[in-house]
Chains A and B, each alone.
Chain A
Amino acid sequence: MKSVFSLFDENFFTNIKWGDNVERVESSKASRYLYAVLIYYLLWIVLTYPFSLQEWEAGALIAFLGALLSYKQLSVSGIKNIKRIGILIFWYLPVFTWEMIKANIHVASIVLNPKMPIKPGIVKIKTNLKSPVARVWLANSITLTPGTLSLDIEDDYLYIHWITVKAKDVKGATHEIAGKFERILEAMFK
């Protein structure tokens, strides 16, 4: 079951060829199983929203059985993902929300301006992140931040379409585009 919940986890990209410079770390089976139980139970509770005790009992049973069948497909990092979700909610999400609002105001300012002040270009940035999932998160974050859209990825380099180019060299562009998120994602996928 490769669902949205695997997006924290290296397991999401098992059938893609990556270079030599990416890392995948596998946790113990017990922790993977426990993580699957927790996620399934939480999902059950949310989906059967008007809460009742009977639903919760049935949900616990189904979560334990379902996890037994599918924990190997759900995650590789196991219980470590909980820490990631914590960082995601309390550190990443505020930064990300602010960036997204800024991005929308930026788009608005371009679209509503009669002169359309655009100066597009495709720049190259370098990332230090080793884990494949961290790279996906970085690419997605870049897409939703002001004026940038991730086009392609090759080894350590991402190609970014930028609507108003501020720095043309790799270093400047990396600092300008990826700087904020790279620190958070490094802590998240350590």
Chain B
Amino acid sequence: MLDAILGWLGVVLVSIGVFFLFLGALGIFRLPDLFNRLQAGTKSTTLGVVATTLGVGLLAKGWLPFSVAIAIFLLMTNPISSHSVARASYRAGVKLYPGTDPDECAERHLEIHEEGEDE
């Protein structure tokens, strides 16, 4: 009985994960510029992959500890990588979507370029 319930929970989790992964791909396709695409990509891949791994852990017996470990690792590394992609591309001068309204980062960006500080 418990096995059946856990199995169904796993199936539900995997389907939720796949759904959000699909939405992430759609977001990357539809949104206008790099930063917006990165937002869609980061959020949906994080929840999508975490839900999928946890679901697989519930479906396959004895794999739960490993899938939890993978999920924790993904939760901790995914935002870091997206942050570094965003930071690097802003500094490299990737064009923003024309409707981007306050751009508080612009002044700092100019300062960095004038000083010639490069990391």
Interface residues, chain A, with chain B CB atoms under 8 Å away: 4, 7, 46, 49-50, 100-101, 103-104, 106-108, 110-112, 116, 118-124, 136, 139-140, 143-144, 147-152, 154, 159, 161, 163, 165, 168
Contact = CB atoms under 8 A, between A and B. Distances in A.
Given A100-B47, A152-B87, A120 B99 contact: yes
Summarize A's interface: helix, strand, loop or mixed: mixed
Interface of B: 20, 23-24, 26-27, 30-33, 35-36, 38-40, 42-44, 46-47, 62, 65-66, 69, 72-73, 76, 78-80, 82-83, 86-87, 90, 96-97, 99-106, 108
B103 A139 contact: no
A140 B79 contact: yes
Contacts of A111: 23, 26-27, 30-31, 40
Contacts of B96: 120, 122
B19 to A, nearest CB: 9
Given A104-B20, A152-B108, A119 B43 contact: no
Nearest to A167: B102
A107 B44 contact: yes
A165 to B, nearest CB: 6
Contacts of B103: 121-122
Given A107-B39, A159-B105, A120 B97 contact: yes
B31 A116 contact: yes
Nearest to B23: A108
Contacts of A107: 23-24, 27, 39-40, 43-44
A151 B39 contact: no
A159 B47 contact: no
29 contacts: A49-B62, A50-B62, A100-B46, A104-B20, A108-B20, A111-B31, A116-B30, A116-B31, A119-B99, A120-B33, A120-B100, A122-B102, A124-B104, A136-B80, A140-B80, A143-B83, A144-B79, A149-B38, A149-B42, A150-B79, A151-B35, A151-B87, A151-B105, A161-B35, A161-B39, A163-B36, A163-B39, A165-B102, A168-B101
B43 A151 contact: no
A27 B43 CA distance: 36
B31 A122 contact: no
Contacts of A122: 96, 100, 102-106
